[in-house]
């Protein structure tokens, strides 16, 4: 099947999802893909595109076994007329639970035919110098698997004439999905004296939660705990305070240190 465009749409505060989608696209052999990075709120507020004879790689991290709510809403507003999708989730070596199924179902409800899907591993958002979780993932092996996944998708495309030739795609997960975790506002980020006011954290935040007027303090009521600001800070001046979130990071680093491997799924 000849597709007209390859599109990448991702939500990726700490960029592991983006990295994997780019590697899958490389494996597909596409020189140029259209990219819609929905990490920033101003992009999410634009009208989502309509897809025709296209293939769209949809990517999001796993947040508590589900899709991040802002990403899920954007994906649910896409329109596909004969377009194919490859849903991909990135998780921090604990579990992806219902997130991949949620992304696949969301894509299909928009009219996409799902050709393949994947769950890959990225360094956990809560991973830091005190508690390290899935460090440096995706690593070379993960990227090689993402590239090979892209090659296999390209091969599959050659073997079909139209979306009608694609059988059902089965991925792990349960419906009804697990209940979304409702977290109250949590004040877990400390800005240390090393902050030199460079402002790199401002655009890194996908939730406009950083208050420029207040020495780059975080507004807990807006924060989605993605830790993108901590990872983006060139001075290492944003750190996780002692408290419940750091306790979760400790638990994750102790209980989920055994390496998990990427999984890929193909339509029958
Ligand atoms: C609020 C929140 C919840 C998360 N929940 C999970 C989870 O349930 N399972 C898991 O393995 N990783 C979980 N993670 C880790 C991310 O899925 C993982 O770090 C992912 O690679 C981040 O993608 P990104 O780099 O594209 O932002 C969570 C991260 C955050 C911020």
Domains of the chain by residue range? 5-176+261-266, 189-240
- Read off the pLDDT band of 45 (50, 70, 90): very high
> Measured from the CA of 122, which atom of ligand 1 is nearest?
21
Q: Using the mean position of ligand 1's atoms as its centre, give its distance from the Cα of residue 81 in Å.
A: 31
Ligand 1 close to Cβ of residue 249 (< 6 A) = no
Q: Using the mean position of ligand 1's atoms as its centre, give its distance from the Cα of residue 96 in Å.
A: 9
- Least confident piece of the model among 13-22, 118-127, 210-219: 210-219
- % residues pLDDT > 90 (the chain): 91
Residue 55: the pLDDT is: 97
Q: Which of 22, 59, 125 to mutate to test the pocket of ligand 1 (most atoms within 8 A of CB)?
A: 125
> Measured from the CA of 127, which atom of ligand 1 is nearest?
19
- Least confident piece of the model among 89-93, 120-124, 214-218: 214-218
With residue 268 as reference, give the H or E element that holds it.
none
Ligand 1 close to Cβ of residue 91 (< 6 A) = yes
Please state, in angstroms and rounded to a whole number, the distance separating the CA atoms of residues 21 and 60: 10
61: β partners: 90
pLDDT at 148 over 80: yes
Q: What is the DSSP code string of 143-183?
A: HHHHHHHHHHHHHHHHH-SSGGG------S--SSPPPPP-P
> Measured from the CA of 97, which atom of ligand 1 is nearest?
8
Residue 47: the pLDDT is: 93
Residue 189: the pLDDT is: 96
Q: Which CATH class is domain 5-176+261-266?
A: alpha beta
Alpha helices in the chain (DSSP H): 16-28, 41-44, 69-76, 99-109, 140-159, 201-204, 228-232, 244-255
> Measured from the CA of 227, which atom of ligand 1 is nearest?
31
pLDDT digits (tens, 9 = 90+) for 47-73: 999 999 999 999 999 999 999 999 999
pLDDT digits (tens, 9 = 90+) for 239-268: 999 999 999 999 999 999 999 999 999 998
Which letter does DSSP use for residue 54 in this model? E
Q: Using the mean position of ligand 1's atoms as its centre, give its distance from the Cα of residue 266 in Å.
A: 24
Place of tokens 């597709």: 3
Please state, in angstroms and rounded to a whole number, the distance separating the CA atoms of residues 57 and 114: 10
165 or 89, greater pLDDT: 89
Q: What is the mean predicted confidence (pLDDT) over 141-165?
A: 95
Ligand 1 close to Cβ of residue 68 (< 6 A) = no
- Read off the pLDDT band of 30 (50, 70, 90): confident
pLDDT at 31 over 80: no
Ligand 1 close to Cβ of residue 63 (< 6 A) = yes
Place of tokens 């990075």: 37
> Measured from the CA of 14, which atom of ligand 1 is nearest?
25
Q: Quick one: which of 94, 174, 122, 109 has its CA closest to 10?
A: 122
Q: Using the mean position of ligand 1's atoms as its centre, give its distance from the Cα of residue 82 in Å.
A: 31
Domain topology for 189-240: Alpha-Beta Plaits (3.30.70)
pLDDT at 104 over 90: yes
Ligand 1 close to Cβ of residue 122 (< 6 A) = yes
Residue 268: the pLDDT is: 87
Which letter does DSSP use for residue 214 in this model? G
- Largest alpha-carbon pair distance within the chain? 60
Residue 215: the pLDDT is: 80
191: β partners: 238
Q: Quick one: which of 89, 24, 85, 23 has its CA closest to 56?
A: 85
């Amino acid at each position: 099947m000849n597709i007209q465009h390859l599109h990448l749409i991702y939500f990726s505060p700490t960029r592991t999802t983006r990295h994997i989608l780019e590697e899958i696209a490389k494996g597909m052999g596409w020189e140029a893909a259209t990219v819609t990075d929905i990490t920033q709120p101003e992009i999410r507020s634009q009208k989502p595109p309509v897809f025709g004879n296209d293939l769209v790689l949809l990517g999001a991290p796993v947040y508590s076994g589900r899709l991040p709510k802002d990403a899920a809403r954007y994906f649910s507003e896409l329109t596909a007329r004969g377009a194919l999708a490859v849903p991909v989730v990135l998780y921090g070596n604990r579990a992806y639970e219902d997130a991949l199924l949620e992304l696949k179902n969301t894509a299909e409800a928009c009219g996409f035919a799902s050709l393949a899907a994947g769950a890959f591993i990225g360094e956990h958002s809560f991973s830091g110098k005190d508690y390290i979780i899935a460090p440096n993932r995706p690593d070379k092996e993960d990227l090689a698997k993402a590239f090979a996944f892209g090659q296999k998708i390209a091969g599959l495309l050659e073997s079909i004439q139209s979306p009608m030739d694609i059988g059902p795609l089965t991925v792990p997960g349960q419906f009804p999905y697990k209940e979304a975790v409702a977290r109250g506002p949590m004040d877990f980020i400390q800005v240390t004296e090393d902050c030199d006011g460079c402002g790199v954290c401002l655009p890194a935040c996908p939730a406009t939660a950083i208050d420029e007027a207040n020495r780059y303090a975080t507004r807990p009521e807006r924060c989605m705990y993605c830790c993108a600001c901590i990872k983006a800070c060139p001075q290492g001046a944003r750190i996780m305070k002692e408290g419940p979130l750091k306790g979760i990071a400790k638990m994750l680093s102790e209980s989920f240190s055994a390496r998990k491997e990427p999984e890929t799924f193909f339509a029958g």
